Amino acid sequence: MMDLKNKRVLVVGLGKSGLSAAMFLRGQGAQVTVSDARSAVALEKEIPALLEAGVMVEAGGHGLLTFRRQDLIVVSPGVPLDTPEVKQAVAFGLPVIGELELASRYLLGQVVAITGSNGKTTTTTLVGKIFQDAGVPTLVGGNIGLPVIDLVAESRADTTSVLEVSSFQLETVEEFKPKIAVVLNITPDHLDRHGSFEAYAAAKTRITERQGPEDFLVLNAEDKPTQMVAAKTKAQIYWFSGRRPIKQGVFVHGESILFIAREGDKPEPVMPVSEISLKGAHNIENVLAAVCVARLAGIPAEKIRASVASFKAVEHRLEFVAKIDDVEYYNDSKATNVDATMKAVASFDGGIHLILGGKDKDSDYSQMAELLRERVKVVYTIGSAAEKIEHQLRGVVKMMSAETLQAAVRDAAAGAVAGDVVLLAPACSSFDQFENYEHRGRVFRELVTALSSERATT
């Protein structure tokens, strides 16, 4: 733990985690200032509580002098490290950390940390459920919605904190040391922020940087970039695979999920694959990772089996919304990159009406061409990335420019026939037209629900 009493601390970025960090730091006796590029009007909901707590607020931009006059700078995940003021602070030798690193220095008990380009939220939620069902005192947070700093007050020596961690959070870790770390997959994402795939993969790898031989690292045996993380850890490595037997970890053999605790041990049956209720091969991988974590934590196979069998899809992740006139509607608003969209499309045999678009993240949509040609009837483009998507997929599949999500749902409903699927899996972030992917997913559900009511009355 750090002694923060009377220390000057600057929190950069007033998102959910920034607000929580500022309040926590104030509670530790620090002299806290928050700095955000947004205007005071845009921050009118947050500012009164901060001022009441004795936190100084700088809005409408970052002052260079504000950054220099600090003992510690805490950067929110949404703030790029190449922001000029942050770069200058680093150049001056000021300590710069993120909210995850700050929280990790105060969090009691053991930590399970889960990262990956796709599947983080589903796997984190499932691991949390397995632990809770088994009677383990469990806290769940991180990139999944509840800032890690908010878990500190509830944590105890016997607590396990199950954390979803993003590349943005991992960029600023120093001493963060999970007992069990998981890297589900590494596929191109956030290249607009990280600059290159190599830099993005390096950020993900930092999850295991401080782990030692007493810790565990769970990796995807079928994902080449993830396999490369194995060379950069001192932790004990456990693999998961849905395709072949492995020597240590979790794999599918026939119709069963098996676990091998130590290389050379006899495989231990955990559960039949048929009991997984989640749709898609990618979700089998998520379950395998969760099973591996739970067994490493000593949770018995029969308890894991019961938890997995009763687990339902997390909202906005290939979430079934409704069946209208024998057409199924699925909300995968969390598919914010090309790989996630491909996994969603691959979960259906065909007849897909796919809604694509939003804010581009320097993605290559042409990677989807073959899969879309096989399974998708029509693509409906929305948002600022629409023109790029249409250019890169021209001639591959029928495309309709819908511009808005409302128009896309309306057009897809008009074009779909019995047995088809309408799928929101945008391959883009949501920030051009929505607050976040959850907001986009909620709007999609509302539009489908309204459509269902409309069809029922006609």
The set of catalytic residues is 120, 143, 190
Which residue is it, tokens 């995968």? 332
CB 442 within 8 A of CB 373: no
Diameter of the chain measured on Cα atoms: 68
For residues 107 and 42, the answer to whether their CB atoms sit within 8 Å is no
Complete DSSP assignment for 364-403: -GGGGHHHHHHHEEEEEEESTTHHHHHHHTTTTSEEEEEE
Question: What are the tokens at 354?
Answer: 């796919």
> What interhelical angle do 301-309 and 281-296 show, nearest 10?
150
Strands 319-324, 327-331: pairing is antiparallel
Residue reference for tokens 């057409």:
327
- Reading the block at residue 51, the tokens are 């001022």
- What end-to-end distance do the CA atoms of the chain give, in Å? 64
What is the Cα–Cα distance from 164 to 280, expressed in whole angstroms?
Answer: 21
3-state SS, one letter per residue, for 79-90: CCCCCHHHHHHH
Rounded alpha-carbon distances, angstroms, from residue 69 to 32, 36, 66, 73, 162: 11, 16, 6, 10, 35
Strand partners, 182: 114, 218
Strands (E), 236-336: 236-241, 249-253, 256-260, 268-272, 319-324, 327-331
Contacts of 321 (CB under 8 A, 6+ apart): 329, 330, 331, 444, 445, 448, 449
